[in-house]
Amino acid sequence: MNTGTAILLVGLVVVALLGVALFALFTRLRGVEGTRANSAELFAQIETESMRLRSAAQSEADEVRAAARREAEELRTKAAADAAEVKARAAAEAEKARERADEATAGLREQRADLDRREQRLVEREDRVTADTQSLEERLREVEAQAAELAARTEELTALEAERRAVLERTAQLTAEQAKAELIAAVEDEAKRAAVVRVRDIEKEATENGQARAREIITLAIQRLASEQTAESVVSVLHLPGDEMKGRIIGREGRNIRAFEQVTGVNLIIDDTPEAVLLSCFDPVRREVARLTLEELVLDGRIHPHRIEEQYEKSKAEVEALCVRAGEDALVEVGVTDMHPDLVALLGRLRYRTSYGQNVLKHLIESAHLAGMMASELGLDVKLTKRCALLHDIGKALTHEVDGSHALIGAEIARRYGENDDVVHAIEAHHNEVELRTVEAVLTQAADAISGGRPGARRESLEAYVKRLERLEEISMSHEGVEKVFAMQAGREVRVMVLPDVVDDIQAQVLARDIAKQVEEELTYPGQIRITVVRESRSTEFAR
């Protein structure tokens, strides 16, 4: 609200108040119109009231003017502050606009410089292209000239060739067709000689590749087969509930132990070992029957000669049943079916048979898996090969009852029970007692060698093992230039460290061959031993 509007409102208020007062006085004058005596008093009151109202209006007007002046001053101050703020904001915007203009100018300068550089490069490139075009045109003219010269020479050579052929025909008294026939015959002879040489090279390459492929197949079969270490023994240990049981086993004047040994054919060793007795026998089947017999007698508590005989018959029948079950489990594990029950029982008896500490039944199962893997790699009949490998040592179940080689005995047993001729041949030929005629027999022999020759398959006495390793190191250290020798991987590998300034690369190869030859001549070992000669050169300096 401005000052003029405020003064106008105050005037209107004053006029309204005067009108109201005059109306009241007028009304009162009408009521006392007849009394002139009081008119002077009324006029005095009107004058007084009018003065009071005028004074009040004047004071109101003064207050309104003061408020208007204060408001105007506040508006002027605020307007000045707003003007200063707008001016500062405008200055900041102007500064920012100036900075952006400077940046745009700098960018334009950089773009102009970049365009100038690009234009310079384009001009240089155009110059190079022009020069290259001129050079190519000169080369093209030279090539055309050379082509014309070559065409002329070609025509000249054609004429010379025709003249030479005519001279040859007159000299040799042969026509071109006859000369061509002789040339073809000569080329055929040369081609035949080249073909013979090529065939010999192909055969040599096929032999080498075949040997590499055979090594690869055997290596894959060995790597894929995971088998446990062998820990068989010719002694069984039976734990007793107490040491007083030993006296009952011995019996009065030793009659029980004599009866036990007489019935079972197993030596019963009772020593100072607490709560244990030993059963010793070379026949694992008899030893297992005796162990079951003694175990049942100890559990029952009644030990006397008659009871020993009864329990022995029961244990014998139980072991026979276990043999049949072991044979059936082996067939299921390998995947072989349709085998004669008596042959299955013989196969199960090998569960209690060992060869150099290796369980024979586990050896047969392992050999069957190996042979099946190799047959699969070669695309042969896997089931037939597994059957050959599973039965190749079946004769060991009767070697203590029948005289002769276990290979020939096993072949006769397999033939008697209706096995295939290939299976019979693989059994009788796996130790080269019969010449190998089939691939299945070769794979059976290879699987047998791998299973028996792998580390840990067959037990070797600790003393012989240690002596063999020591002798390996002694043989290697006896050569000149050897610094250190390490027998590793259970004696399957020998690493020889040589002095680089004494032994060169060629001598290292010769040294490895000499050590291998000496080891072959002096030592006996299963499988093979790898000799690795390591020659290492080192240069050492110190920074001080």
For every residue of 175-237, DSSP letters joined together read -HHHHHHHHHHHHHHHHHHHHHHHHHHHHHHHHHHHHHHHHHHHHHHHHH---PPP---SEEE
- Asked whether the beta carbons of 364 and 388 are under 8 A apart, the reply is no
The pLDDT of residue 43 is 65
Asked if the model's pLDDT at residue 524 lies above 60, the reply is yes
The pLDDT of residue 3 is 60
Asked if the model's pLDDT at residue 2 lies above 80, the reply is no
Q: In whole angstroms, give the CA distance from residue 492 to residue 532.
A: 11
Q: In whole angstroms, give the CA distance from residue 489 to residue 317.
A: 44
* Residue 475 backbone class (left: φ over 0; alpha: ψ -120 to 50; beta: rest): alpha
Average pLDDT of the chain to the nearest whole number: 79
Q: In whole angstroms, give the CA distance from residue 150 to residue 526.
A: 75
Q: In whole angstroms, give the CA distance from residue 417 to residue 383.
A: 18
The pLDDT of residue 340 is 87
Asked if the model's pLDDT at residue 231 lies above 50, the reply is no
62-76 per-position pLDDT tens digit: 787 787 788 778 888
Asked if the model's pLDDT at residue 369 lies above 80, the reply is yes
The pLDDT of residue 182 is 73
Q: What tokens appear for 500 in the block?
A: 């680089």
Q: In whole angstroms, give the CA distance from residue 229 to residue 455.
A: 8
Q: Taking the CB of residue 4, how many other CB atoms lie within 10 A of it?
A: 9
The pLDDT of residue 235 is 60
- Name the nearest CA neighbour of 351 among 383, 319, 388: 319
- Asked whether the beta carbons of 169 and 176 are under 8 A apart, the reply is yes
47-67 per-position pLDDT tens digit: 787 777 777 777 777 787 787
Q: Which residue is listed with tokens 């920074």?
A: 543
Q: What tokens appear for 475 in the block?
A: 């043989």
Q: Which residue is listed with tokens 């050569």?
A: 479
- Name the nearest CA neighbour of 419 among 520, 455, 428: 428
Asked if the model's pLDDT at residue 520 lies above 70, the reply is yes
Question: Among positive and negative, which fits the CA dihedral 165, 171, 177, 179?
Answer: negative
The pLDDT of residue 271 is 77
Q: Mean pLDDT over residues 454-481, rounded? A: 73
Q: What tokens appear for 355 in the block?
A: 């060869």
* Confidence band for 493, pLDDT divided at 50, 70 and 90: confident
- Asked whether the beta carbons of 402 and 250 are under 8 A apart, the reply is no
Q: In whole angstroms, give the CA distance from residue 452 to residue 469.
A: 20
pTM value surpassing 0.75: no
Q: Which residue is listed with tokens 């070669």?
A: 378
Higher per-residue pLDDT: 224 or 537: 537
Higher per-residue pLDDT: 154 or 199: 154
Q: Mean pLDDT over residues 161-170, rounded? A: 73
Q: Mean pLDDT over residues 412-436, rounded? A: 87
Write the CB contacts of 62 (distance below 8 Å, at least 6 apart in sequence). Answer: none
β-pair type (530-535, 493-498):
parallel
Write the CB contacts of 384 (distance below 8 Å, at least 6 apart in sequence). Answer: 420, 422, 423, 440
- For the stretch 504-509, contacts whose Cβ atoms lie closer than 8 Å and that sit 24 or more positions apart, written own/partner, are 504/535, 505/535, 507/481, 508/533, 508/535, 509/533
Q: Mean pLDDT over residues 154-167, rounded? A: 81
The pLDDT of residue 37 is 52
Higher per-residue pLDDT: 147 or 2: 147
Beta bridge partners of 238: 277
Cα radius of gyration rounded to whole Å, the chain:
62
Beta bridge partners of 308: none
Asked if the model's pLDDT at residue 328 lies above 80, the reply is yes
The pLDDT of residue 232 is 45
CA-CA-CA-CA torsion for 113, 114, 120, 122, nearest 10 degrees? Answer: -160
Write the CB contacts of 373 (distance below 8 Å, at least 6 apart in sequence). Answer: 217, 220, 221, 224, 225
Residue type present at position 359: N
Helix (H, G, I), strand (E, B) or coil at 361: helix
Give strand ranges (E) for 401-540. 482-488, 493-498, 530-535
Q: What tokens appear for 252 in the block?
A: 């009065």
Question: Would you report the helix, strand and coil content of the chain in percent, each value rounded to 5?
Answer: 75, 5, 20
The pLDDT of residue 262 is 79
The share of the chain scoring above pLDDT 70, in percent, equals 82
Interhelix angle 39-172/3-31, rounded to 10 degrees, is: 150
264-305 per-position pLDDT tens digit: 877 888 877 788 888 877 667 788 888 888 888 888 888 888
